[in-house]
Amino acid sequence: MLTLEFCIASVMLISLIIYMLTGGADFGGGVWDLFAVGRRAKAQRSLISHAIAPIWEANHVWLIVIVVLLFVAFPVAFAAISTALHIPLTLMLIGIVLRGTAFVFRTYDVQSDTIHRRWSRLFAVASVITPVMLGITLGAVASGTIHVDVESGQVETDFISAWFAPFPFAIGLFTLTLSALLAAVYLSLETEDTELREDFRRRALIAAVSVGAMAGLSFILSTEGAPTIRRGLGSASWSIPFHILTGAVALWAIWTIWKRQFRLACILVPMQVTLIVLGWGLAQYPYLVTPDLTFSNTAAPDTVLRPLLIVLIAGGALLVPAFWYLYTVFKGAARKTRQSDPGI
């Protein structure tokens, strides 16, 4: 049965997937900016800047959608998450702000090597911290260590132990490797330079192996760190076919990267990330914050959810075409820039 809270929760999950595919890739670009080395380091950073610049600010819209829907539709869960996990959430927000600030100042500040390196370092470090904190937050929400009295909304927390644990940190690093994989694959199509393509092809292969390692580690740690997720991913009727499908897409993606089929890789890797996030959502359901808060016992009244869903539908009808047009215009302009400058 499609309840109002289920529909809104589905929109939140879709928004999270889109944010990972867009904003996550931007964070991954910062990761590779940090590891840009060798005689092509400057060219690598230039490529990352040209790829990110047209659309990176707009990608945060999807994170805003998630936060607003959580606040309006599931206020008890919003209060619990923002209370128990205010430290990683604050660090994530600081990372987003510092990353954007550094990116802008690196472009428009005095263009000396010293100042450029300073802003580049801040941009890269913030790009690493932010997805890690996002993953830690998601891992903590799924871990079952945040206890809430549904009636009073009282949160039992020491503000540290819920997120400062092996499983949330494994999910944080897992999120980081997914971001790095997306960025490396996208960047392979952002340049006409063969050597730069090979640089990011190698990085994509490294990231793909890292994603597999972190997925395995996260699954192992979920036995103690997130038993609800472990049961969902290990024993649910859909789990085995889902694992097979995700694994097949992941292996196919690695094969296409290895064989330099970059356009196909740019389809398969986002599919892989989508399946991973979707699998987490299915395993987490019906809990919003494990083990006390479900979507049904924390949902706002129907008098709130119904108009909210109507606004979502109307807003989506405007937002999605607007985003498509934004990407078409600005990425098209970036493509023309690359064609006029073979070094990018």
Residue 156: strand pairing partners: 147
Do 223 and 234 form a contact (C-beta atoms < 8 A)? no
Query: Based on the number of CB atoms within 10 Å of its own CB, is 315 exposed (0-12), middle (13-18) or buried (19 or more)?
Result: exposed
pTM for the full model? 0.92
The dihedral sign for the CA sequence 59, 61, 67, 69: negative
215 SS3 class: helix
Tell me, what's the pLDDT at 236?
81
Element holding 3 (H helix, E strand): none
**pLDDT tens track, the chain, 344 positions:** 689 999 999 999 999 999 999 999 999 999 999 888 888 888 898 888 888 876 767 888 999 999 999 999 999 999 999 999 999 999 999 999 998 888 888 877 777 777 878 888 999 999 999 999 999 999 999 999 999 887 777 898 899 999 999 999 999 999 999 999 999 999 998 888 899 999 999 999 999 999 999 999 999 999 999 998 998 888 788 889 999 999 999 999 999 999 999 999 999 999 999 999 999 999 998 899 999 999 999 999 999 999 999 999 999 998 889 888 887 877 665 555 555 555 55
pLDDT at 320: 86
Query: Residue type for 24, please?
Result: G
Place of tokens 């196919």: 252
- Residue 109: its pLDDT value, please? 74
Q: Residue 68 has which token pair?
A: 């607003």
pLDDT of residue 8: 95
Provide the 8-state DSSP code for 299: P
How far is Cα 105 from Cα 131, in angstroms, rounded to an integer? Answer: 21
